[in-house]
Each structure stands twice: as structure tokens, then as C-alpha cells.
């Protein structure tokens, strides 16, 4: 996996101007995009407004030191990694900073070759971790988000919608007569049905806004944040009609659609469980009502 310098943002934090200038010159010569802060507090302000991949911070700084900054980053910026630098070895050992959550340690004065090697390794490891995370959150067959992703995203989206006072629509989708199709034509043809439905769902929803999931087997889900009931119904019918146009034998779709509105009288867990049950029931009502239709419980 190649190191991607162009898309990597590094924040250097040091209270000494000469060190900041030296780090900037080295980063410039190595081709990295970098930012500079002269204190932990300034670094925190930068992190609020900018997505930073790596922070390289001195330990000994007035006010909030580097280990305290590290702790803040681990709690508030989970996608940002930290490398600690210091010339005061009695203040922070390698084992101490790694135990605190840093990914590496570099001694001062910082050598250009050592900095280049440590940044390159950090980026390679970040890219590997991100790829493994991506694979673990996606369905291998359809490339849609998987059940694990749904279990993480659903409560987050419902809570955010409640907090920001907008609507979120949930649709559960089941492929009708899929077992008969599979038995008649074989698993490879059955997989083609599922892959095609995944593509249809992606095409019929808003890119980088809506979320499409394969929940397992021939069961799928769609989350539509900031969508009205009418928009949700329109998208569901679009998926239904597009799938019907593929002519996969007697297979059709049963879709259950609900609006997820937080009930503050219930615990979050109970409320979310009931939402999913309502969507599931709407889907089964569609299936029991003749299939190839959308049932809404808005």
C-alpha cells in the first residue's frame, strides 16, 4: 500500500520557533502538507476546524504539555494519530508515550532521515488500518455497507436527527421468492440478483448522504437522513420499479418504510429497537399483502 503524501495533513506542535521552522522546512522538502501550532491550545483550535491525520508534538511545553494534548486527541479526534518528540528523556520515555496512546516517539534534535522514515511508516500503517476497517464494514458480495455498519450508523443517525431536528427515513427491503430462484438457477445466478439490487439501491439514493446496507441473506436496508416522507416513498418506489425492470424470474421486492422520530419517553435503546421492529413489520405487511410493493408507516 503506497504512502499518500498529497492527502496527508500533518500538524507540528512545538513552542520553540526554531524547531517549528526546521520541521516546516523538512516537511516541505519531503512533499507533505503541514500545519504549525506553537502550543497545545493552538493545536486544539486547529483540530476543531481541520481534519488532521498526524500530529507531531513536543512533550515539554508551557501550560498544556504534549502528553495532555495526546490525551485530548485520543478522546476527541479518534482518526488522528500522534507522534511525540522530546529532548528531555527523563520527562517521557518511549514506553510511557506509547502506553499513553502515541503511535511513535522521535528524539530531538529531529533528524530529517529519521523523520522521513517515521512519517512514511505512520502513513502506511494508517492506510492499512483504514483499509481493514473499510473491509470489515462492507459486504464482500454487493460492496454495500454490512450489518455491523448498520448497527453502528443507525443509532448515530437517529440521535443526530433528533438533536438537529430533521427527519430520517428507514427502509427494510426483502427479495421475494429468492429461495425458489436460487434453487432453480443456482447460487451464482442468485448472487447476480443480490449484486444487481445493491447497484440499484446505490443508483436510486443520494451519494454520500444516504446509506445502503446488506443486512444478511436477501435482506437489505436503506437509511435516508434529512429526507422527507415523500422523498423516502419516492426513493423506495424507484428501487422497486428498477428491480422489476431487471426481470429476475418471479423475484420482486417487499419494502417497509418508516420515519424514525425519537420518543424521549423511552430509553434510546428501546426506542431504536421499536423503530426497527416497525420497519420490519411494514416489510412483512408488504410481503403478506401480495409482495412487489411498498408499505409505509410514516
- Is residue 65 annotated as a catalytic residue, yes or no? no
Which of the residues 53, 218, 230, 271 is marked catalytic?
A: 218
Cell representation of residue 8: 496527508
The set of residues, in sequence order, having a beta carbon less than 8 Å from that of 180 and lying 6+ positions away, is 250
169 pairs with which residues across the strands? 224, 259
3-state SS class at 104: strand
Cell representation of residue 265: 419517553
3-state SS class at 225: strand
Match 443480490 to its residue by C-alpha cell. Answer: 194
Name the region of 206 (left: φ>0; alpha: ψ -120 to 50; beta: rest): beta
Q: H helices then E strands: how many in the chain?
A: 10, 10
Give me the DSSP letters along 116-146. HHHHHHHHHHHHHHHHHHHHHTB-TTT-SB-
Positions annotated as catalytic residues are: 218
Amino acid at each position: 500500500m503506497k504512502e499518500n503524501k498529497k492527502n496527508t495533513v500533518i500538524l507540528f506542535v512545538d513552542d520553540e520557533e526554531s524547531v517549528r521552522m526546521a520541521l516546516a522546512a523538512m516537511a516541505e522538502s519531503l512533499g507533505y502538507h503541514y500545519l504549525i501550532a506553537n502550543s497545545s491550545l493552538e493545536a486544539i483550535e486547529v483540530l476543531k476546524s481541520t481534519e488532521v491525520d498526524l500530529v507531531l508534538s513536543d512533550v515539554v511545553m508551557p501550560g498544556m504539555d504534549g502528553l495532555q494534548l495526546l490525551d485530548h486527541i485520543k478522546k476527541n479526534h479518534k482518526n488522528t494519530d500522534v507522534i511525540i518528540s522530546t529532548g528531555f528523556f527523563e520527562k517521557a520515555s518511549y514506553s510511557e508515550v506509547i502506553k499513553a496512546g502515541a503511535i511513535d516517539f522521535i528524539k530531538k534534535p529531529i533528524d530529517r532521515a529519521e523523520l522521513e522514515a517515521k512519517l512514511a511508516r505512520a502513513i502506511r500503517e494508517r492506510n492499512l488500518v483504514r483499509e481493514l476497517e473499510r473491509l470489515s464494514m462492507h459486504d464482500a458480495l454487493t460492496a454495500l455497507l454490512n450489518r455491523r455498519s448498520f448497527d453502528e450508523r443507525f443509532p448515530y443517525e437517529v440521535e443526530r436527527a433528533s438533536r438537529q431536528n430533521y427527519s430520517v427515513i428507514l427502509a427494510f427491503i426483502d427479495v421475494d421468492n429468492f429461495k425458489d430462484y436460487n434453487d432453480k438457477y443456482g447460487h451464482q445466478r442468485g448472487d447476480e440478483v443480490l449484486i444487481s439490487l445493491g447497484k440499484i439501491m446505490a443508483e436510486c439514493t443520494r451519494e454520500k448522504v444516504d446509506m445502503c446496507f446488506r443486512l444478511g441473506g436477501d435482506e437489505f436496508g436503506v437509511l435516508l437522513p434529512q429526507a422527507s416522507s415523500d422523498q423516502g416513498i419516492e426513493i423506495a418506489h424507484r428501487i422497486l420499479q428498477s428491480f422489476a425492470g431487471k426481470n429476475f424470474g418471479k423475484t420482486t421486492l417487499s419494502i417497509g418504510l418508516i420515519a424514525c422520530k425519537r420518543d424521549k419517553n423511552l430509553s434510546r435503546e428501546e426506542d431504536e429497537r421499536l423503530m426497527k421492529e416497525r420497519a420490519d413489520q411494514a416489510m412483512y405487511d408488504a410481503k403478506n399483502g401480495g409482495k412487489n410493493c411498498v408499505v409505509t408507516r410514516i
